[in-house]
Amino acid sequence: MASVSASSQTDQWRPLNAKWLKRQGGGFGLVVLLLIGLPCLVTLPWSVSRYDDQRLGGDESLASPSFAEPMGTDLLGRSVLWRSLLGGAVSLSIGGCAAMIAVVIGVLWGTAAGFSGGRVDAAMMRVVDVLYGLPYILLVVLLDIALSPWMEALLGVALAADRAAGAAQVVTLLIAIGGVSWLTMARVVRGQVLSLKAQPFIEAARACGVGPVRMFTHHVLPNLIGPIVVYTTLTVPTAILQESFLSFLGIGVQAPLPSWGNLAADGLEELHALGQPGIDLRWWLIVWPCTLLGLTLLGLNLVGDSLHRRLAPRTKAAAG
């Protein structure tokens, strides 16, 4: 309540105020997502073959943005545009798939725990607590190391060797990130199941002779859809951010395959030029990936927030 009244006082001079975000934030987020996501995915067939076109020597390396290279080139003369497009596809697909994996595991785990109750519930939630306590980077790295040889062999059957290595990296990374980000989802879902179980309509359904399976699929799950959808849209940006963070650290997507995270890591060196008048600042190397990543995360969060307001019935009146 405090934030609402504070924002209404400042309405006159803040164009991007809370009320505007509440009304239009979701649509704005969706537009931003489509503007960034669609080109990344649509150009995938071309960007896959062009992201590593090295043009060494001459003017082609480290060229600033121009008509021929709208986003400039990097040290090896590779087009930042193509690399950003493929990097976006990699980041988005890792984020999306990891979030889906997290949702599936989290929902199953949470409902199983909430439904069984008692000791089973306690044991399952202690497992979640323990996993929460471990640093997730460690888990991701361990999973990554354990899975990647298998994945490479598996994908090697269908793809050419160099492509297989890249694809295996992406797939293991998304499995690893998905495998560690289901914990919060499990907690959220378990809490919802517990509160639903105490609802009179569940008891009424039991008194009607509804069995446990039907109770779960027809009475509990439909009431969970809202929170699950909302939480999923908020898990996608977290997963993207984790991927970028890991790639930034050099643990995630490995060169030459780009992702927004390792593109930003490459551009990071440019920051040394700040404050040193003799050296040119090649801003395009860091500004593009960071902007794209930031806008995508903003869009996803706006959409998630908007869904949350629409699907959570108790806050509906307040939002209108």
Binding site for other proteins (CB under 8 A): 118, 199-201, 203-211, 214, 218-219, 222-223, 313
**Residue 208 C-beta: closest distance to other proteins, Å:** 4
CA 87/CA 89 separation, integer angstroms: 5
**Residue 210 C-beta: closest distance to other proteins, Å:** 7
Q: Of 64 and 195, which has the nearer Cβ to other proteins?
A: 195
CA 292/CA 284 separation, integer angstroms: 12
Whether 76 and 124 have beta carbons less than 8 Å apart is answered as no
Q: Of 16 and 207, which has the nearer Cβ to other proteins?
A: 207
**Residue 115 C-beta: closest distance to other proteins, Å:** 13
Whether 113 and 187 have beta carbons less than 8 Å apart is answered as no
CA 49/CA 28 separation, integer angstroms: 32
Q: Of 1 and 207, which has the nearer Cβ to other proteins?
A: 207
Q: Of 100 and 210, which has the nearer Cβ to other proteins?
A: 210
Q: Of 274 and 314, which has the nearer Cβ to other proteins?
A: 314
**Residue 305 C-beta: closest distance to other proteins, Å:** 22
Cα 158 to Cα 51, 66, 233: the distances in Å are: 21, 39, 32
- CA nearest to 109, candidates 234, 228, 254, 229: 228
**Residue 119 C-beta: closest distance to other proteins, Å:** 11
Task: Please report which residue ranges of the chain form alpha helices under DSSP H.
Answer: 2-9, 18-42, 44-50, 80-116, 118-133, 136-156, 161-180, 183-197, 200-207, 212-214, 221-249, 260-268, 284-311, 313-319
**Residue 48 C-beta: closest distance to other proteins, Å:** 43
Whether 105 and 137 have beta carbons less than 8 Å apart is answered as no
Q: Of 23 and 214, which has the nearer Cβ to other proteins?
A: 214
